[in-house]
Structure 1
């Protein structure tokens, strides 16, 4: 653990105040992203929910306000699958700095056929990885304006068993939805770690941290109408799984800690304590596959080519 005897234990139920802070959560209108936003809202910070669905964003904000009186929460409309829209979407934030962004939004398809974004990228890779890659470029000036900003990338335990095919990042050959999803999350995690290496190389004040939620099920997630309603049947049916996995409210804990805990450092990986599947957040050893900086560098170069965007860290992303 990073914590020392002089640092109080991290308490997921008693988060430190972050009054005056400005946080952005992509996909903050549903799932784990909603709970990240709800928990960060309780710190007194302003939390922006990045969403492509205004109605769902309104529902999420209403749910947060019902749980967190006086919550400073707002919605920003954008679509990570539409790369050309992201610069304007960032401008619509209308803030002069950003203290953290949680790259959480994602698409997960269960069945064929293979689908593409409007830019011609495989939908999951194009949204989950390339969308956040491009978004980072436009957010960097705002992040660099904060004293010590964090970029938190939400990976997935599903990525641990996958391996990137750098010759077929778009899954054009032998498309399998679950594998393509796992690879898109693996790409995000490689990006988060490579981003931190590059930020350190230019002595940036911004840090990049990678997290994953472990096993997070709807059936173990408390109700937050209208965002999520858990039926009695789902609660009872999911009870045995609680021995191994957890709800999405707990899946949010590693990301929330990565945003708020000053002991967390760039380039680290955080996940649930118990077998990486459930429990309170802790620092993990970076998975051996993710430690391969040569793969990360090749992915970075490919991402620049595919998006037409070069993230200029030396200029603070400007």
Structure 2
């Protein structure tokens, strides 16, 4: 039985970043099946509308909205939060991400490396803006979507923007590691403040398009893609399955703040399960230094929830 069927959430409101495609789309679809209001926060409005229509074709009574959100440009966040226009926010899923293969280093409008700016800094600034709404909603959740790629990377706090060592795969893995460090550090700070908001980290494992069912017209898996992916299905799974640990982290009341969830089988495929994070993903010193650097890089003023843990 899926998490969306096990944990109905009809009176709740969830925000999913990057919900117009891939993992984010399936997170939104599965959350919509609970009866909750799901807000799709996407940079491309046309693609967001297509995702809404695709979900409604499968769940006719789905309660859906979309707001424009460009995580690469924190200057746009106040308008995005205002557009959210809700009195409660039960969970935000920090899913949107950029993964580049171009060996030419690309920059955000503020001059930061684009993957780090979008995947980590944008979400860091978004949570800062949403925190008053989240803490005002009892037992709300921040679910940070990490990646298996973070396992093999280590953060370079001197070169967060990859100015001196830019390699696309490495920079992507480090940006996801930064997200995960943020998720665990946010848990520590929320608990120190006595907040009921939980910070949970989840990841999809190895999720491939070729193992993902079609969602026309948003995504159509061809027969050739399906056949090419059959062998990979022994160790990986589709994006619909990759969304399940994230949805479980949003819905399951027994999941506690500071936990890491992913696929059970080697962290790559299978039903959701709790994992023990690698030490470098939770290191308090690295996380605190990243937090302080993120405050400076995003231009955020210090607020009580941004303070150091006692």
TM-score (norm 1): 0.94
Q: From the superposition, tell whether residues 315 and 71 of structure 1 become closer, same or farther in structure 2 (CA, over 3 Å).
A: same
The runs of 5 or more residues in structure 2 that have no matched partner are: none
Displaced runs of 4 or more, over 6 A: none
Cα separation, partners in 2 of 1:75 and 1:115, compared to 1, 3 Å? same
State the match for 2:28 in structure 1: 37
Which of 121, 137, 143 pairs up with 2:112? 121
* Structure-1 residue corresponding to 2:84: 93
Contact kept? 2:81, 2:130, Cα under 8 Å = yes
Give how far 1:314 is off. Answer: 4.3
Q: Does 1:52 align with 2:43?
A: yes
C-alpha spacing 1:48/1:311, structure 2 compared with 1 (3 Å): farther
- Tell me, yes or no, if structure 1 residue 269 matches structure 2 residue 260: yes
Query: What whole-Å deviation, never above 9, does each CA across 1:139-193 have from its counterpart, x for those lacking one?
Result: 1111112111000000000110000000000000121001000000000000000
3-state secondary structure, aligned to 1:282 = strand
Q: CA deviation at 1:16?
A: 1.5
Change in Cα spacing, 1:227 to 1:234, as seen in structure 2 (3 Å) is: same
- The 5 A counterparts of 1:215-254 are 215-254=206-245
* TM-aligned CA distance change 1:311 to 1:68, over 3 Å: farther
Question: Using a 3 Å threshold, how does the CA distance of structure 1 residues 59 and 129 change in structure 2: closer, same or farther?
Answer: same
User: Is the CA contact 2:14–2:38 (under 8 Å) kept in the aligned structure 1?
Assistant: yes
Q: Is the contact between residue 198 and residue 313 of structure 1 (CA under 8 Å) also seen in structure 2?
A: no
For 1:182, which of 152, 173, 176 is the aligned residue?
173
Cα separation, partners in 2 of 1:314 and 1:160, compared to 1, 3 Å: closer
Post-superposition shift, 1:112? 1.3
Distance in 2 (CA, whole Å) between partners of 1:41 and 1:105 is 18
The reply on whether 1:278 has 2:278 as its aligned counterpart is no
Trace 1:122-201 onto structure 2 (pairs within 5 A): 122-201=113-192
On the 8 A contact 2:213/2:240 being kept in 1, the answer is yes
Distance 2:265 2:138 in 1: 33
CA distance in 2, matches of 1:138, 1:49: 17
* DSSP 3-state at the match of 1:92: helix
Instruction: Quote the RMSD (CA, aligned, Å).
Output: 1.4
Deviation at 1:311, TM superposition (A): 5.5
| 1:17 counterpart residue number | 8
- Runs of at least 5 residues in structure 1 that lack an aligned partner in the other structure: 1-9
The answer to whether the 8 A contact 1:99-1:149 is kept is yes
1:81 aligned to 2:72? yes
The equivalences for 1:1-12 within 5 A come to: 11-12=2-3
User: Normalization by structure 2: what TM-score?
Assistant: 0.97
| Distance (Å, rounded) in 2 between the aligned partners of 1:83 and 1:12 | 33
State how far apart, in whole Å, the 2-side matches of 1:262 and 1:13 are. 13
